[in-house]
Chain A
Amino acid sequence: MSDPILRIKDLKVNYGGIEAVKGISLDVPKGEIVTLIGANGAGKSSTLRAISGLVKPTSGTIEFEGEDITAKNPTDIVTKGITLVPEGRKIFPDLTVKENLRVGAYLRKDDITDDINWVYDLFPRLKERSWQAGGTLSGGEQQMLAVGRALMSRPKVIMMDEPSLGLAPLVVRGIFDIIKEINKQGMTILLIEQNANMALKTAHLGYVMETGRITLSGPGKELLTNESVKAAYLGT
């Protein structure tokens, strides 16, 4: 395996006065889908927030393409090529779909017409709703918009926080198809999920997180058959 695009070493993060992440290390190889699964409050979201610079880790390092990006601010991190799709979608409800996409490309100074068309190709539904306010979209469409918005910054790594949250099963499948499609186009993906089944089926590499620590890791397909994962997350 070549050098990973994103490498996390002994990361500790405090969230609301509690140590939510208690020293985790994980590698995200370039061009792969990596998933981090675990129950509510395992510290998955805190990990992503620390990588994207929204919170400062208490210790540990985050390396991106060999460069230390620990505790940099979100603006720098997005510029370097890591973009977060936040939990609960968090699209801008009063902006139109197109404006949402434009905000996604806010830090870019070059022409974004091609990228908007690229996102519209990925999500034809967004093209139809181009002039609609983001808040009027359905849950699934909002998730598409959130992913599309993140793609607009032309990231090298896209991090998704629970993209399947609160969506109907059929819509969830659609979202995961899109994740695979984006990955095929060369994007590295770090995915957080409670829907362990879907996530492990999609991912090349999986990490299992429990109360702030990583307890298991391995190829997604292997974890799917792992007895303790089955018992804890797959309900079989």
Chain B
Amino acid sequence: MTNTLVKKNNTGKYIAIICLALVYILAILLDNFLPATSFTLMLIPVLQKGAIYALLCVSMNLLNGFTGLFSLGQAGFMLIGGYVYAAITIPAAQHDSVYQYFDSAIRFSIPEILSNVIGKGPGTIVGVIISLIIAGLIAALFAFLIGFPVLRLKSDYLAIATLGFAEIIRAVFQWEGLGAITNGSNQLRKYVTLSGMELNFGSFTLELGTLFLFVIVTVCVALVVLLINSSYGRALKAIRDDEIAAEAMGISLFKHKMISFIISSFFAGVGGALLAMFQTTIQANAFKSAMTYEILLMVVIGGIGSISGSCIASFLYIALSEWILRFLDEGSLFGLISVPFFRDGFRKVVFSVVIMIIVLFFSKGIMGDKEISFKGIGGLLTRLKNKKKKTAPAAEAVSEEGEANE
């Protein structure tokens, strides 16, 4: 029994590593070697945005799906993360042109400092990673501070309080008094973006933007998965299921809610920073509550309480809204048949209807609270093999399925 389990665990691990490696190779190919057709030009940004939203969804799911805290502060924490990232990565020489009307307070760029030490390519990449972590930490610090008052609230009240927080942050970041850091209501630009992620090998330049993004998102999502599967994660789910019982088991409600809130906000901050990298400019006014709702929608579509659901839903949503359903706005079907009511904005109508259908009839979302587990897939493959030999005992299969879900 133990032996077969270990063997199956490895099968799952190999599948996961192979899948991940394929995705990474695809990312490198797309950035460097594949011809720039209209297809790849659309695919790259969709994959990039999808990955960023996957992280944002997972971060929101940690709070809403796994801890049962209905928070709507996502856009606020993204905004903090995005702005912090932008402010500390704008090259020193560019400050005067970015902060046209203000005297910029931050006059250093972390990627630039590191570039001077360990060379341009690696220095920029390491600097950006450090900046992303700082962006997340500042967002987490804000979460810690507002957590004290708001985490004592329950359900809807928590949602209102966090929504209010996000709107206040949006207003504060556009306030001229903070202009030396936030550039007032003007946008921040010229910071290090995804296209800045490159390594030079002599005359050849290896673009790493998409790969960098995918690696960061994978690491962040993996950290959340580790947290959820730890005993802390079980405590969070216990709080979600029944606060009184959790408290009776000695789980401190406030402490654990705070931990979940801080970690979720950290990743929201990192996600916001990645979004800033993706967009190449950032402006506080864009971080409206609609952005939070969009993420919440993806979480619901994917399944509240499912990490894999969140990831699938975010790629699906972004692909549909940014790409596949575009034809609805263009007045014709595949450029062949002209349909009179296909015009600007019709895409949003169709999209809203699709969402309503999902919410009404598939309220559990794509995955419910299940996970795609590579261990499970590994187990399934082995079981199929065993089936041929007709030696798979049913009881063993059941217990392994459980092990995989754990």
Contacts and interface: CB of A to CB of B under 8 A. Distances in A.
B231 A90 contact: no
Contacts of B242: 90-93
B250 A130 contact: no
B305 A94 contact: yes
A103 B234 contact: yes
Interface string A77-97: 111000111100011111110
B399 A131 contact: yes
A94 B369 contact: yes
A94 B237 contact: yes
A104 B249 contact: yes
Given A95-B234, A95-B237, A86 B245 contact: yes
A90 B251 CA distance: 14
B401 A131 contact: yes
B398 interface: yes
The residue among B245, B247, B248, B401 with the most chain A CB atoms within 10 A of its own CB is B248
Chain B: interface secondary structure? helix
Interface residues of A, number: 31
B66 to A, nearest CB: 10
A83 B241 CA distance: 19
Interface in B201-238: 231, 234-235, 237-238
Contact of B250 (A79, A90, A95): A79
Interface in B271-329: 305
Interface string B348-371: 000000000000000000000100
Contact of A75 (B241, B252, B369, B402): B252
B244 interface: yes
A106 B234 contact: yes
A99 interface: yes
Interface string A121-163: 0000000001100000000000000000110010000000000
B308 to A, nearest CB: 16
Given A75-B250, A75-B252, A94 B402 contact: no
A73 B402 contact: no
Contact of A131 (B240, B241, B247, B398): B398
B61 to A, nearest CB: 14
B129 interface: no
A90 B250 CA distance: 14
A216 interface: no
Given A75-B251, A75-B252, A153-B249, A103 B235 contact: yes
Interface in B236-275: 237-238, 240-242, 244-252
Contacts of B244: 54, 86, 90
Given A75-B251, A83-B248, A84-B248, A94 B235 contact: no
23 contacts: A54-B248, A73-B252, A74-B247, A74-B250, A74-B252, A77-B250, A78-B250, A79-B250, A91-B242, A91-B245, A92-B237, A92-B245, A93-B241, A96-B402, A98-B402, A103-B246, A103-B249, A106-B234, A106-B238, A106-B250, A106-B251, A107-B249, A149-B249
Interface of B: 231, 234-235, 237-238, 240-242, 244-252, 305, 369, 398-399, 401-402, 405-406
Q: What are the 10 A-B residue pairs with the smallest beta carbon separation, nearest first? A: A78-B250, A131-B402, A90-B245, A92-B241, A84-B248, A107-B250, A103-B238, A75-B250, A90-B242, A75-B252
